[in-house]
Amino acid sequence: MKIWKKLPYGWKVVFAFVFFFSTTLCFAYFKGRDTSPSVPIEVLATTPTEANSWKGHPKVVYFWATWCTVCKAYAPILEANLKLLPKSTVFLSVLEAEDSEETKAIMAQLSPEAKRPIYAADYRILKEWRISAYPTTVFLNEEGRVVFSDTGILSPFGFWLRSFLLRFF
């Protein structure tokens, strides 16, 4: 404990950040190991060609809902996070398929050539993927196995770190 008291304040901050990010990374990893859905994410694809294009690539699957205020607040941060994704990583935005007017309006506005299409997931898929809160971000490796699973807002560094580490799992 004497060593901690003698450390300069800057080093204490660095150690605190390292401890925080490694702890959240460990929680995300163990939550991801607990998630092994029998329904592959490729069932959301609109065509077989689209599903085949996802295979062999790491994937980041973002589950959200129109009624989720945290999801709405996280939207600008998510846009910044997506700029940090490696080019080979596939990003999938998955909307809870509730039967509301807002959901119908969002889905009707989508065009086939949208930059980031939104896929609708029913209760069965959400249950298989263990989505219990929104937003939930799931990181899958190239084989389609869940490596990290996080609920809530991810910092840009945390998002980048998880997407970077996918290549090693």
Provide the residue ranges of all domains of the chain, joining segments of one domain with +.
Answer: 2-168
Written as six digits, the tokens of 98 are: 């509730």
Q: What is the model's pLDDT at position 109? A: 61
Q: Are strands 118-121 and 90-96 parallel, antiparallel or unpaired?
A: parallel
* pLDDT at site 110: 54
Query: Residue 62: pLDDT above 80?
Result: yes
Per-residue pLDDT averaged across 132-140, rounded? 94
What is each CA distance from 17 to 13, 14, 67, 74, 145, in whole angstroms? 6, 5, 32, 21, 28
The whole-number pLDDT of residue 92 equals 93
Q: How far apart are CA 74 and CA 89, in angstroms?
A: 20
How many residues are present in the chain? Answer: 169
CATH 3.40.30.10 fits 2-168, yes or no: yes
Report d(CA 23, CA 108) in Å as an integer.
Answer: 41
